[in-house]
């Protein structure tokens, strides 16, 4: 069984979004409650401590003006946009969320554990360098990726995002960066409206953004084929030294904010393909960080499935046959876009 780490910080519970908000503390609380469950304990996870991200770590991704804007919410209730709010403790919670993503990355790079899952909120992948949005204050995974390159000596980092919403903030952060690969599967059209297949990066970063937009209704078969073939092959060609995963469980069939049909078995296979890619390319170094997921039962089931895959309990093979013969759904029409940059 592979040694896995779980990292969280109770301070993340103190980000209060108010009554009726989809991104509530109940999401994190239900995950903390499951840590004592027998099935989770059988995986023998190492519980790792969280920490605060520092100002300098945040500023590797976000502008000074963005930092000041979020810091100024401390002690107040502030509506940042139609979807995104801050409460008196949200600034601290956001620093804890980013800090947990960094700490999880450090634990995997140092081989303290083979893989890690950061149970964090507020989520991050919509936060752009100079703008909070979509429930997100700081971009946790982007901050971790920059930390891996700036402080941990890694050259190439891959970010894979399976949230139902496109991670516009992550895309913007690395759109010109040749050393960070961003791959996103997401429902399209849907908030925030970005993530078309033709958005491929600019300048030296051209070809380092891979968007796989999907209409609603895609389920286990399509996600299994996409992650087992397209995503796995692109990761193999890029050869990252670390894989970071923006893990969004709002592709679940029961989720109220999306229209995908993924089950717990589907999440297990997505995670297992990513774990296998990490084994092939970077010695198994992979970090999952929580993004969306608003059905509490689906969130618990999906994360447990991912933990099983991380622990080596679920094994998958690359789908057999040519790409054109696989059930890729909408992704099949974009193969020529991806082949322009990666010989898949």
CATH of domain 4-339: 3.40.800.20
pLDDT in tens, 146-160: 999 999 999 999 999
Q: How confident is the model at residue 324 (pLDDT cuts 50, 70, 90)?
A: confident
CB neighbours of 326 closer than 8 A, spacing ≥ 6? 225, 229, 319, 332
For 211, the 3-state DSSP assignment is strand
pLDDT in tens, 279-312: 999 999 999 999 999 999 999 999 999 999 999 9
Strands 180-187 and 209-214: parallel
Mean pLDDT, rounded, for 96-120 = 98
How high is the pLDDT of residue 320?
A: 77
How high is the pLDDT of residue 207?
A: 98
Mean pLDDT, rounded, for 231-240 = 98
Q: Is 315 a catalytic residue?
A: no
pLDDT in tens, 37-84: 999 999 999 999 999 999 999 999 999 999 999 999 999 999 999 999
pTM tops 0.85, yes or no = yes
- The active-site residue, picked from 15, 66, 125, 126, is 126
Mean pLDDT, rounded, for 320-336 = 93
How high is the pLDDT of residue 1?
A: 83
pLDDT in tens, 127-181: 999 999 999 999 999 999 999 999 999 999 999 999 999 999 999 999 999 999 9
């Amino acid at each position: 069984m592979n040694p896995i780490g779980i990292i969280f910080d109770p301070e993340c519970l103190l980000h209060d979004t108010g009554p009726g908000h989809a991104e509530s503390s109940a999401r994190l609380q239900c995950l903390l409650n499951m840590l004592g469950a027998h099935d989770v304990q059988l995986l023998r996870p190492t519980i790792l401590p969280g920490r605060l991200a520092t100002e300098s770590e945040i500023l590797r991704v976000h502008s000074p003006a963005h930092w000041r804007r979020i810091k100024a919410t401390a002690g107040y209730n502030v509506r940042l946009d139609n979807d995104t709010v801050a409460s008196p403790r949200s600034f601290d919670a956001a620093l804890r969320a980013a800090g947990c993503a960094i700490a999880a990355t450090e634990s995997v790079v140092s081989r303290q554990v083979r893989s890690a899952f950061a149970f964090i909120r507020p989520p991050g992948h919509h936060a752009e360098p100079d703008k909070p949005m979509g429930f997100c204050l700081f971009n946790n995974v982007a901050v971790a990726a920059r930390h891996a390159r700036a402080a941990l000596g890694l050259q190439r980092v891959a970010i894979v995002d399976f949230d139902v919403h496109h991670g516009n903030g992550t895309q913007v952060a690395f759109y010109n960066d040749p050393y960070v690969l961003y791959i996103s599967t997401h429902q399209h059209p849907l908030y925030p409206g970005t993530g078309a297949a033709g958005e491929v990066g600019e300048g030296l970063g051209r070809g380092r953004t891979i968007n796989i937009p999907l209409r609603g209704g895609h389920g286990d078969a399509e996600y299994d084929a996409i992650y087992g073939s397209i995503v796995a092959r692109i990761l193999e060609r890029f050869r990252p030294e670390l894989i970071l995963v923006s893990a969004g469980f709002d592709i679940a069939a029961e989720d109220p904010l999306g229209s995908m049909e993924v089950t717990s078995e589907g999440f297990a296979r997505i995670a297992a393909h990513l774990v296998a890619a990490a084994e092939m390319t970077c010695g198994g170094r992979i970090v999952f960080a929580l993004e969306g997921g608003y059905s509490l039962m689906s969130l618990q089931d999906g994360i447990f499935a991912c933990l099983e895959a991380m622990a080596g309990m679920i094994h998958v093979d690359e789908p057999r046959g040519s790409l054109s013969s696989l059930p890729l759904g909408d992704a099949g029409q974009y193969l020529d876009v991806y082949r322009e940059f990666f010989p898949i």
